[in-house]
């Protein structure tokens, strides 16, 4: 199978234009043509997933297709943007039609769930890597940014009745043979690591409510620093709130408390929304999360920049938490 047959078989969808009115021209030309809603600006993000760095080589291809798009949709969610479409740059060591069929199925299923169709891209030969550029739109005055946190704002993290920070880190430790879990906890941890749920609906529901936001991909403490630097602020986090969140979901209660807190604070691949909002917005934030089908847990507050980033125990003592977020270089 050649390149163009591969594209036609797995990544071209005849119903594209009829199903998605924002697409004027999709796969098959030199460029795709998108029509963003009137009065909105484009939100654009790119992520690359490399075999052996971002995913295990033996991961199920359907799951990989899901995750490749999910991590990009999470970036749109963090800006409060609505998805419009995405492009795919796929590098393959060889053509494996069974693998391609499963990968495309996972990719298209999540794309359809968020009305974010594949509109173009490229295929080439080489070590397995997946590059996706996702495009969305948002009214310019409602876009969520990292730079708006205000002194006294509450700090929230999203989740669900099943999912919270740290579970994906447990999945990684399980995959690396560093952790043993029961069957149900192991399934949940691997699901979180390999099949995250982007909080797209919550991001849009937080327009006009959140003062700042980002998605947690490299670890809570490291990613929170991005908001603090952009906003010129400090933060105080509540360790009991973080632990209570972890202890009310699967997987983490099976671990020692110190390890639970470490996974919650430093683990990556969570793709939850970390955001701030004024205390007066607490009821509205709770309602926004409920409408979006997820949860929003208050885990701290924005403080003076001079206070830096502190994590306090139940007695108000500052905890020393060794470790850091993931970095490539």
Calculate mean pLDDT across residues 204-231: 97
Percentage of the residues of the chain whose pLDDT score is greater than 90: 85
**Are residues 296 and 192 both part of a single domain?**
yes
Considering its fold, how many domains does the chain have in total? 2
Distance of alpha carbon 230 from alpha carbon 216, whole angstroms: 16
Reported confidence tier of residue 155, pLDDT bands at 50, 70, 90: very high
**Rounded mean pLDDT of the chain?**
94
The pLDDT value recorded for residue 328 is: 46
**Are residues 164 and 125 both part of a single domain?**
no
The pLDDT value recorded for residue 326 is: 55
Count how many Cα atoms sit within 13 Å of the Cα of residue 194 in the half-sphere of its side chain.
Answer: 24
Domain edge (last residue) among 89, 111, 142: 142
pLDDT, tens digit, 9 for 90 and up, residues 119-134? 999 999 999 999 999 9
Q: Are 250 and 185 in contact (CB under 8 A)?
A: yes
Classify residue 263: in a domain, yes or no.
yes
**Are residues 29 and 129 both part of a single domain?**
yes
Look at residue 69 and tell me whether its pLDDT is greater than 90.
yes
Distance of alpha carbon 113 from alpha carbon 131, whole angstroms: 20
pTM score of the predicted model: 0.93
**Are residues 137 and 184 both part of a single domain?**
no
Look at residue 22 and tell me whether its pLDDT is greater than 70.
yes
Calculate mean pLDDT across residues 67-86: 98
Q: How many CB atoms lie within 10 A of CB 243?
A: 18
Reported confidence tier of residue 325, pLDDT bands at 50, 70, 90: low
Classify residue 328: in a domain, yes or no.
no
**Are residues 301 and 271 both part of a single domain?**
yes
3-class state of residue 173 by DSSP: helix
Classify residue 77: in a domain, yes or no.
yes
Q: Are 276 and 227 in contact (CB under 8 A)?
A: yes
The pLDDT value recorded for residue 184 is: 95
**Are residues 305 and 224 both part of a single domain?**
yes
The two beta strands, 272-277 and 212-216, are antiparallel
**Are residues 65 and 195 both part of a single domain?**
no
The structure tokens 């977020």 sit at 325
Distance of alpha carbon 322 from alpha carbon 110, whole angstroms: 36
In 3-state terms the chain splits into helix, strand, coil percentages (rounded to 5) of 40, 25, 35
Q: Which H or E run contains 102?
A: helix 97-113
User: 47 forms bridges with which residues in the sheet?
Assistant: 132
**Are residues 107 and 172 both part of a single domain?**
no
Classify residue 112: in a domain, yes or no.
yes
Domain coverage including residue 167 = 154-312
**Are residues 138 and 202 both part of a single domain?**
no
Classify residue 212: in a domain, yes or no.
yes
Q: How far is CA 223 from CA 2, 105, 158, 238, 268, in A?
A: 42, 31, 14, 16, 10
**Are residues 111 and 221 both part of a single domain?**
no
Q: Are 85 and 21 in contact (CB under 8 A)?
A: no
Look at residue 323 and tell me whether its pLDDT is greater than 70.
no
The structure tokens 């125990």 sit at 313
Calculate mean pLDDT across residues 205-218: 97
Classify residue 11: in a domain, yes or no.
yes
Calculate mean pLDDT across residues 76-86: 98
CA-closest candidate to residue 166, choices 240, 257, 261: 261
CATH number at residue 135: 3.30.1330.10
**Are residues 116 and 194 both part of a single domain?**
no
Domain edge (last residue) among 84, 115, 142: 142
**Are residues 103 and 205 both part of a single domain?**
no
Calculate mean pLDDT across residues 296-308: 96
Classify residue 327: in a domain, yes or no.
no
The two beta strands, 309-312 and 234-238, are parallel
Domain edge (last residue) among 99, 122, 142: 142
CATH number at residue 178: 3.90.650.10
Classify residue 302: in a domain, yes or no.
yes
Cα Rg for the chain, rounded, in angstroms?
Answer: 20
Look at residue 307 and tell me whether its pLDDT is greater than 80.
yes
């Amino acid at each position: 199978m050649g390149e163009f047959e591969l594209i036609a078989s797995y990544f071209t969808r005849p119903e594209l234009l009829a199903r998605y009115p924002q697409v004027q021209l999709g796969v098959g030309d030199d460029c795709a043509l998108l029509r963003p809603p009137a009065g909105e600006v484009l939100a654009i993000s790119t992520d690359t997933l490399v075999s052996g760095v971002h995913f295990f080589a033996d991961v199920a291809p359907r799951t990989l297709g899901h995750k490749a798009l999910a991590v990009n949709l999470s970036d749109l969610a963090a800006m409060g943007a609505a998805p419009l479409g995405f492009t795919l740059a796929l590098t393959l060591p060889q053509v494996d039609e069974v693998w391609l069929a499963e990968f495309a199925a996972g990719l298209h299923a999540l794309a359809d769930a968020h009305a974010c169709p594949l509109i173009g891209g490229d295929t080439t030969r080489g070590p397995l890597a997946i590059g996706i550029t996702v495009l969305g739109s948002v009214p310019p005055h409602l876009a969520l940014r990292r730079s708006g946190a205000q002194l006294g704002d509450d700090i929230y993290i999203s989740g669900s009745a099943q999912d919270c920070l740290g579970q994906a880190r447990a999945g990684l430790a399980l995959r690396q043979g560093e952790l043993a879990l029961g069957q149900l906890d192991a399934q949940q941890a691997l699901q979180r690591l390999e099949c995250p749920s982007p909080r797209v609906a919550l991001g849009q529901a937080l327009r006009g409510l959140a003062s700042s936001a980002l998605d947690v991909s490299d670890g809570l403490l490291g990613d929170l620093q991005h908001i603090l630097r952009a906003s010129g602020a400090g933060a105080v986090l509540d360790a009991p709130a973080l632990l209570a969140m972890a202890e009310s979901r699967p997987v983490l209660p099976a671990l020692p408390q110190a390890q639970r807190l470490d996974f919650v604070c430093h683990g990556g691949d969570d793709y939850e929304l970390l955001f701030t909002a004024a205390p007066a917005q607490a009821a509205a934030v709770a309602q926004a999360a409920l409408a979006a089908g997820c949860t929003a847990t208050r885990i701290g507050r924005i403080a003076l920049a001079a206070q830096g980033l502190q994590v306090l125990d139940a007695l108000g003592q500052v905890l020393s938490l060794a470790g850091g977020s993931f970095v490539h270089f």
